[in-house]
Chain A
Amino acid sequence: MPLLEISKLTKHFGGLTALNDVSFSVDRGEIRGLIGPNGAGKSTMFKNIAGFYTPSAGDILLDGESIRGHAPHEIAGRGVVRTFQETTLFQELSVFQNALVGCHLRARTNIVSAVLGLDGARQRAARQKAAEVLEFMGLSERRDQLASELPLGSQRALAVAIALASSPRLLLMDEPFAGMNPEETRQMMDLTRKVNDSGVTVVLVEHDMKAVMGLCRQITVLNFGTLLTEGSPEEIRNDERVVRAYLGGGHRL
């Protein structure tokens, strides 16, 4: 059974159809690329999966169970976590506190325990998990810096660390490579592989074709809200329709 199954998903906004009858599935352990022109519906797809939008029709199955229409925090509770386009962090908190917010599911507490300090074990476990994910993402040395003071590459790594702190099964990454230079891109690719090796399935929306082609064995292409095609990087690169709709002349791939 695939980990994620999108079944005939449709999303309307008023008269506009952002997604039209899209179906695909992602296997456990994959890094899946989701590409397509701007406005093809990639971000809308993410928002539907993560619960920020409710699909107009169709279903989303996680491990065979429908998660359609659940609230974002409930879907996070089932192990689906997204990162955001551009850098979304708690800028005024420290790196460590950012990771700590990510530990919400294991650290949440009630008001009485919080006031009387009865939740010590939970909070210790959360702090330990936060330290672990920072170590994992190579951010340990920066743990006391403010998130806003980090260079772009580390900010993106922190965004992934926050997501990892909630121990996801499925990580949805929205343009994690945008605006990065080649060196930063290389580091982020390594980190993405490392996250994937630790057992997290990844779905990646990205325009940086070097990164997508380098990371994904399977790529799904959306165009005008419909599924254009799926295939290996090689197949996608040579698919005439993808070249015409998305890749262009491509001497810069």
Chain B
Amino acid sequence: MLLSVKDVHVHYNKIAALRGVSIDIEDGDFVTLIGSNGAGKSTTLRAISGLESPSSGEIEFSGNPIHRLSPDRILKLGIAQVPEGRRVFKDLSVLENLRLGAFTRRDERAIKRDLDSVFHHFPRLEERSGQQARTLSGGEQQMLAIGRALMSSPKLLLLDEPSLGLAPIVVEEIAKILVDINKQGVAVVLVEQNADLALDLARHGYVLETGRIALEGPANQLADNEHVKTAYLGI
């Protein structure tokens, strides 16, 4: 088991955001979390990456507990998060942004190899490597945010709403790249409002409702589930 989230609770002040969430992710898995706004999808990601500390429950990564570790330690262990809203350093160049993603690493040769692999996934970033990030289009900025996360050479990639505010054709392009990245052996956890897309890409899905797992199962089965259809797919 690569990642195992066991009965995690998270509270903001006194309000429970997660009330016992359990998720299992295998090596090379592709998992999606779907659910309404405020159901706890982003909080789950933030708990895994160490940005929120659980009030109870455990999170294990490759068998070791990580729920007491700081975000930078968790990143070093191999979990990278792409936050919502295409957050890139707008005044830095594309290349500088990517190099910042390898901030915790020293091995120049391995960094170079990962940079090549990012450029392989995103040829457009290579074309624009000297440009300031603010001059990129929204889709390219999202690609840069994903590329930066890949530069830490993660075993697990967490993505929060990567399709938000992007043109349909760009969403499609990013979706293809996510599948490619996953095929190279990086496990992916995808949080998406676009449940249609998410269940199409992922192998396994979890449906969050008011801080709990309401449903889980293989993604294609969830897509046929009547409740999921009416509540999240809008069919």
A residues contacting B by CB (< 8 A) are 16, 36-39, 85-86, 151-153, 175, 178-186, 207, 209-210, 245-250, 252-253
Contacts and interface: CB of A to CB of B under 8 A. Distances in A.
Interface residues of B, number: 29
B166 A207 contact: yes
5 contacts: A39-B137, A183-B36, A246-B169, A247-B169, A248-B172
B197 A184 contact: no
Given A180-B37, A183-B36, A249-B172, 9 more contacts: A16-B135, A37-B137, A37-B167, A151-B37, A152-B38, A178-B165, A184-B36, A247-B168, A253-B168
A175 B163 CA distance: 13
A238 to B, nearest CB: 15
Contacts of A85: 165
Interface stretch (B20-28, B107-115, B121-129, B226-234): B226-234
B231 A183 contact: yes
A246 B167 contact: yes
A25 to B, nearest CB: 24
Interface in B183-235: 193-197, 200, 231-234
Contact of A207 (B37, B168, B197): B168
A86 B104 CA distance: 32
Interface in B101-158: 135, 137-139
B77 interface: no
A245 B85 CA distance: 23
A38 B168 contact: no
B168 A39 contact: no
B234 A182 contact: yes
A209 B138 CA distance: 17
A151 B38 contact: yes
A238 B61 CA distance: 48
Contacts of B172: 248-249, 252
Contacts of B167: 36-38, 207, 246
